[in-house]
């Protein structure tokens, strides 16, 4: 368990110090090139493309999973700390927190006096047309994306990693990389206009079911408004995605604002679009929700370590109270 804590600590220290690595050297970008190579007409008709898409969804995420798990496994015999460091590197590369918060903060700040910059910067968060959005609409787009990416960019890879790390660091790294691969497939292929991405979108819906809801719970706790989760139920299924609406709607209710993608959905529709202060508070709440998510992941790791200790050779208990052994019988030290 101490190794798991050290790995998590190193991964998030790297995120705080470095943020997002340059695209040219980012393994997720490399995987994106592989996904891009699959995005072509392999068969005549939508049905044929969907069948090919099943193979793409099943096989493609196995590539980063095999590379990540194989890397951690390969360095294990080299040096005792090599495996934890490699696993921490994989977790760092498959999560994104600092960059998300900084970009969201930048967009929110730019809406106050420099909407053109806000429109340019928000393209790193959303794919919608932002040319006609008002400053409040730009803030809404940024806040929505921050909530959704808390689930996609942090919780989705962190939780399976934390659950598996006490048992096997190679398996934990492989799971995190696999989930990131699924998310990347969906973001690149999961559009109605791309039949080859149908299976990828469905797989992502399945994978994100729990992370999205855990992110929503984390947001409600971070905002000190647990009832926001209950209020969010009324709009959580409004967006086309069965999962992204949960963290977005919960943040909308916790902030008391309307988050809206015009013509697609409106979350907490009776409220106003976010003000500058609302946008700044959203960044704070999402940051705190990330901390809550990390605490939950650590708790899950502790539970797994406790349960797995009797069954996994060499796995130490989460916490052991030292047994105090009396150095001598009572009569030796003069007791009656």
Q: What is the pTM of this model?
A: 0.89
| Token output for 138 | 């730009």
DSSP codes, 258-291:
-EEETTTEEESTTSPPP-HHHHHHHHHHHHHHHH
Find out whether 219 and 289 touch, Cβ atoms under 8 Å. yes
Inside any domain, residue 289: yes
Span 235-268, pLDDT tens digits:
999 999 999 999 999 999 999 999 999 999 999 9
Q: What's the pLDDT score for residue 317? A: 54
**Coil, helix or strand at residue 261:** strand
Q: How far is CA 59 from CA 27, 72, 187, 188, in A?
A: 17, 21, 17, 16
**Coil, helix or strand at residue 165:** coil
Q: Helices 45-59 and 198-207: crossing angle, nearest 10°?
A: 40
In angstroms, the CA 251 to CA 223 distance is: 8
- Of the candidates 307, 310, 250, the residue with the CA atom closest to the CA atom of residue 282: 250
Residues of the chain with pLDDT under 50: 318-336
Inside any domain, residue 332: no
Q: How far is CA 113 from CA 94, 126, 257, in A?
A: 34, 21, 21
Find out whether 161 and 299 touch, Cβ atoms under 8 Å. no
In angstroms, the CA 283 to CA 101 distance is: 6
Span 162-192, pLDDT tens digits:
999 999 999 999 999 999 999 999 999 999 8
Inside any domain, residue 207: yes
The stretches of the chain forming alpha helices (DSSP H) are 2-18, 27-38, 45-59, 62-75, 82-94, 98-110, 115-122, 135-150, 156-164, 169-189, 198-207, 209-222, 227-232, 245-255, 276-308
Q: What's the pLDDT score for residue 310? A: 65
Q: How far is CA 272 from CA 197, 250, 275, 287, in A?
A: 35, 15, 8, 23
Q: What's the pLDDT score for residue 54? A: 97
Q: What's the pLDDT score for residue 311? A: 59
Domain of residue 29: give its range: 2-309
In angstroms, the CA 196 to CA 41 distance is: 8
Inside any domain, residue 321: no
**Coil, helix or strand at residue 267:** strand
The number of distinct structural domains making up the chain is: 1
Burial (Cβ within 10 Å: 0-12, 13-18, ≥19) of residue 306: middle
Q: For 19, phi and psi rounded to 5 degrees?
A: 75, -140
Q: How far is CA 7 from CA 12, 88, 161, 162, in A?
A: 9, 5, 10, 10
Inside any domain, residue 73: yes
The stretches of 111-197 forming alpha helices (DSSP H) are 115-122, 135-150, 156-164, 169-189
203 CB-near residues (< 8 Å, 6+ apart): 57, 182, 185, 186
Inside any domain, residue 325: no
Alpha carbons within 13 A on the beta-carbon side of 223? 26
Inside any domain, residue 102: yes
Inside any domain, residue 324: no
């Amino acid at each position: 368990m101490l190794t798991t804590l050290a790995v998590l600590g190193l991964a998030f220290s790297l995120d705080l110090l470095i943020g997002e690595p340059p695209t040219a050297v980012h393994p997720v970008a490399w995987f994106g090139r592989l996904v891009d190579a699959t995005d072509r007409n392999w068969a005549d008709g939508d049905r044929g493309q969907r069948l090919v898409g099943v193979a793409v969804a099943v096989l493609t995420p196995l590539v980063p999973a095999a590379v990540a798990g194989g890397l951690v496994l390969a360095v294990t015999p080299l040096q005792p700390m090599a495996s934890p460091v490699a696993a921490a590197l994989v977790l760092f590369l498959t999560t994104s927190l600092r960059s998300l918060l900084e970009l969201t903060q930048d967009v929110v700040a730019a809406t106050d006096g420099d909407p053109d910059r806000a429109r340019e910067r928000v393209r790193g968060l959303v794919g919608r047309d932002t040319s006609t959005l008002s400053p409040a609409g730009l803030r809404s787009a940024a806040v929505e994306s921050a909530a959704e990416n808390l689930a996609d960019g942090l919780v989705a890879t962190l939780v399976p990693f934390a659950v598996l790390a006490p048992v096997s660091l190679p398996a934990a790294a492989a799971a995190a990389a696999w989930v990131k691969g699924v998310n990347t497939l969906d973001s690149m292929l999961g559009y109605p206009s791309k039949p080859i991405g149908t299976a990828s979108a469905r797989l992502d819906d399945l994978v994100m079911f729990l992370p999205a809801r855990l992110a929503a719970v984390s947001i409600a706790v971070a905002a000190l408004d647990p009832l926001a989760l209950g209020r969010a139920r009324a709009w959580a299924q409004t967006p086309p995605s069965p999962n992204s609406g949960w963290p977005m709607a919960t943040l909308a209710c916790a902030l008391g604002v309307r988050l809206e993608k015009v013509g697609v959905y409106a979350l907490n529709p009776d409220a106003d679009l976010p003000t500058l202060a609302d946008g700044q508070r959203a960044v704070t709440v999402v940051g705190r929700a990330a901390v809550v998510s990390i605490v939950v992941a650590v708790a899950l790791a502790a539970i797994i370590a406790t349960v797995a200790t009797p069954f996994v050779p060499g796995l130490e208990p989460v916490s052991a109270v030292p047994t105090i052994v009396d150095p001598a019988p009572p009569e030796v030290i003069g007791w009656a």
